[in-house]
Amino acid sequence: MKALVYHGPGAKSWEDVPDPELKDDTDAIVQVDATTICGTDLHILKGDTPEVVAGRILGHEAVGTVTQVGPAVKSVAVGERVLVSCISACGRCRFCREGRFGQCLGGGGWILGYMIDGTQAEYVRVPFADTSTYKVPANVSDEEILMLADILPTGYEVGVLNGKVSPGDTVAVVGAGPVGLSAISGAKMYSPSHVIAIDLADARLEAAKGFGADLTVNNGREDAVAYVKGLTEGLGADVAIEAVGVPQSFELCTELVRPGGRVANIGVHGKPATLHLESLWIRDVTITTGLVDTYSTPTLLSLVAAHQIDANRFVTHHFPLAEMEAAYDTFGRAAETGAVKVVLTP
């Protein structure tokens, strides 16, 4: 089969690789009908995650058709259409039993495209198929469901729920990429008074308006801290959500938040950020971090199936799988191309 293979920082290629095979009784083999590229894949290519070894097939998001199942798999069958979650869950360990699937001790967590071969391929081996896939409702498209593999639960859980967004809150979202837009969309479900999108790219700020941001700030031209404080009688945001993964954006969030407020970090960080405890400790600021657990996927799946969430609006570009490298180029230059999510299909 063909797959996108990582060859070290800055190096990747679409090439022939062996077809995946069942290794454990709980595995399934899924033919990839739709996959996408994540900002985390770009972090891997930058060298921010050195534990990813050369030769790894990238990708952790897919919708596909089951072609083989191990003898212990009970919940999905050959021929069924499934969502492949970015998080795999053994379902038995301490953390899985607490719903913290991202911290799975039994061989799961974020492993696809990271510790094992991933979904940017024609086929993928999915461990723990019973607890790591979801059947796709008949009335929704592959690309709608694909947005539930990672970005929608990530923005919702790690941004909105960790940040405890509440009615009447002022919410500042730093970074209007796919996960930032997911956080904006999720925050709107809790009736905040304002959602402010902050980014360096005007195209992304324009996209943020379509996802529910009522105010936008280009912090390359404007002082975002002054803007937010001016809106909030000098206090700052109730919740600041970091959705980039660079030191400057995290440090900006700690300046944006009011005393007693919450900073919810979503971004994948490859470099240290300065934590100014000398000024934060006295302001009662809560900072949360987290890898998505995907415990919200069934809820979000119901909302997408009922058309309460329009997941299609995330998709801006389509490519055939064979043009994977062109898709990476488009996604990697999102500030120029306007890419939010690219969808690749056979």
For residue 277, the number of C-alpha atoms closer than 13 Å in the C-beta half-sphere is 0
Q: In the prediction, which pLDDT does 270 show? A: 86
Average pLDDT over residues 82-87: 98
Q: In the prediction, which pLDDT does 2 show? A: 98
Q: In the prediction, which pLDDT does 52 show? A: 97
Tokens 């690749």, located at residue: 344
Q: In the prediction, which pLDDT does 11 show? A: 97
The 10s digit of each residue's pLDDT in 186-233 is 999 999 999 999 999 999 999 999 999 999 999 999 999 999 999 999
State the average pLDDT for the chain: 97
Cβ neighbourhood burial of 271 (10 Å; 0-12, 13-18, 19+): exposed
Could you tell me which of 85, 140, 156, 129 has the C-alpha nearest to residue 300?
A: 156
Could you tell me which of 133, 174, 151 has the C-alpha nearest to residue 311?
A: 151
Residue 24 banded pLDDT, cuts 50, 70, 90: very high
Residue 317 clears pLDDT 90, i.e. is over it: yes
Average pLDDT over residues 169-183: 97
Full 3-state SS string of 277-308: HHHHHHHCCEEECCCCCCCCHHHHHHHHHCCC
Q: For each of the domains in the chain, give its residue range(s) and CATH number, in order of start.
A: 2-150+293-345 (3.90.180.10), 153-288 (3.40.50.720)
Tokens coding 340: 């939010």
User: Residue 327: which H helix or E strand, with range?
Assistant: helix 324-332
DSSP annotation of 333: T
Residue 335 banded pLDDT, cuts 50, 70, 90: confident
